[in-house]
Amino acid sequence: MNIIDELKWRGAVNQQTDEEGLYKLVGEKSISLYCGIDPTGDSMHIGHLIPFMIMKRFQLAGHHPVILIGGGTGSIGDPSGRKSERVLQSMEQVQHNAECLKEQMKNLFGEDGFRMVNNYDWLSKISLLDFLRDYGKLFNINTMLAKDIVASRLDTGISFTEFSYQILQSIDFKMLYDNYDVQLQIGGADQWGNITNGVELLRKTEGVSDAYGLTIPLMLKADGTKFGKTAGGAVWLDPKKTSPYEFYQFWFNQDDRDVVKYLKYFTFLSMEEIEDLEKEVAEHPEHRNAQRKLAEEVTRFVHGDEGLAQAEKVTQALFSGNIQELTGDEIEGAFRNTKGGEVAKAPINIVEALVEAGVEKSKRQAREDVTNGAIRVNGEQVKDTEAEISAHPNTNGKFIIIKKGKKNYFSIAVKE
């Protein structure tokens, strides 16, 4: 199957600069293609993952991904998707972020089979006069103003710095085409203007007709909201920011209306496997087998077999209530966004702790729930209202983990 046919089946194609030409090109030979990411943070989140899933599919189909870390463009800021100017970071912070992103890319693409470049290496060498003479002269201001990413900012204002971003991204495509034979640029739907500028720059400077652009649809949930946001904030690829358990749960908790779309987009399962899971969703949605498979596949892709095993271990421990063997890191990751107050010290009487931390509204209700066996402390059922409770032994005295009833967990912080 031509890779473009597969991408269309998976719902991953939005716009192409030359649909017929690109289809023929990738059907005849292996090509080099690129996607860029600016190091505005020290970790990608799952929104960033979207175009790189497409890059991975090209890699598996025998093509050659080039990952561009925007050390140069990241130092000035992309205007896309925002209503105000980006706060500029120091070059030291940009460099630190770039190194972190490089390590994450290695996890996704492996040590071999792809190339990584940093546009700081060439953008930093272009003088102001060379920039204006060699590139600025080729860009029409009226055309630049009409680009969606710029037009959306005209009412609130945009600096010349961010306005110039699209020229720099165009230079990237030219540099990669000239030096690494890169013929295709991939990006999100909001990058269409930047991508077409790059194709046009190659045409104007070198008469190139075999450079292409492809964008990916904006990912929306069935309820119309933007994919990737949760009550706790972004879902990060860095396990220190979003634990493998939290990452797994994000995917497992997807709506039945979205899960098949995400299976197509975020997994490497075959058409037959996904169609079988689609039938499962229609006939037995209560089993949540499609969500479980989605969570397994994406967690393994991002965190490896070890990360998936940890996520499944924590999931099973929380389901059963047997959390005694969880490590401190696993507990902190599992309960990072769990409701729960704090207590002044520990050990502390169980009734006092439940009321002080807000688990129970009154001492009477606390005594009743403890006596009835509805309270578990650090995985152990406690029915004695006079019991003194302490932090989970694996948390260095930081947290008491309370389970009330069948599902409700509370992470109580110990002040001292």
| Least confident among 7-21, 155-169, 241-255 | 155-169
Q: What is the pLDDT of residue 407?
A: 85
Residue 54 CA to residue 386 CA, distance in Å, equals: 59
Is residue 31 a contact partner of residue 220, using CB atoms and an 8 Å limit? no
Give the model's pLDDT for residue 387.
Answer: 94
Could you tell me which residue, 144 or 370, shows the higher pLDDT? 370
Overall size of the chain counted in residues? 416
- Among the residue ranges 9-13, 183-187, 296-300, 319-323, the one predicted with the least confidence is 319-323
Kind of pairing, strands 342-343 and 408-414? parallel
Q: Using one digit for the tens of pLDDT, what is the confidence trace for 340-376?
A: 888 999 899 999 999 999 999 999 999 999 999 999 9
* Residue written as token pair 């000035």: 76
Mean pLDDT of 151-159: 77
Q: Which residue has the higher pLDDT, 86 or 183?
A: 183
Q: In this predicted structure, what is the pLDDT of residue 336?
A: 82
**pLDDT tens-place string over residues 208-217:** 999 999 999 9
Provide the strand spans (E) within 268-397: 342-343, 348-349, 375-377, 380-381, 388-389
Residue type at 69 in one-letter notation = I
Is residue 350 within 8 A of residue 407, CB to CB? The reply is no
Q: Tell me how crowded residue 200 is: count the other CB atoms within 10 A of its CB.
A: 20
Q: Is 409 annotated as a binding residue?
A: no
Residue 34, annotated ligand binder?
A: yes
Q: Which residue has the tokens 């009833």?
A: 405
Query: Do residues 245 and 307 make contact, with C-beta atoms less than 8 angstroms apart?
Result: no
pTM for the full model? Answer: 0.88
In whole angstroms, give the CA distance from residue 392 to residue 159.
Answer: 52
Q: What band does 149 get if pLDDT is binned at 50, 70 and 90?
A: confident
List, in sequence order, every beta strand (DSSP E) within 15-111: 15-16, 32-37, 64-69
E strand spans, 276-398: 342-343, 348-349, 375-377, 380-381, 388-389
Give the pLDDT confidence score for residue 140 in this predicted structure. Answer: 86
Predicted local distance difference test score (pLDDT) of residue 232: 65
pLDDT of residue 161: 85
229 is in an annotated binding site: yes
Look at residue 230 in the predicted model and tell me its pLDDT. Answer: 67
How high is the pLDDT of residue 86? 67
Structure confidence by residue, pLDDT tens digits, 90-143:
888 989 999 999 999 999 998 888 999 999 999 999 999 999 999 999 998 888
* Domains within the chain, CATH numbers bracketed: 3-216 (3.40.50.620), 229-320 (1.10.240.10), 342-414 (3.10.290.10)
Averaged pLDDT of the chain: 91
Backbone dihedral angles phi then psi of residue 197, each to the nearest 5 degrees: -60, -40
* 196 band by pLDDT with thresholds 50, 70 and 90: very high
The closest alpha carbon to 301, from 167, 128, 104, 156, belongs to 104
More confident residue, 389 or 147: 389
Residue 266: pLDDT band with limits 50, 70, 90:
very high
**231 has pLDDT over 80:** no
Q: Give the rounded percent of residues in the chain with a pLDDT score beyond 90.
A: 72
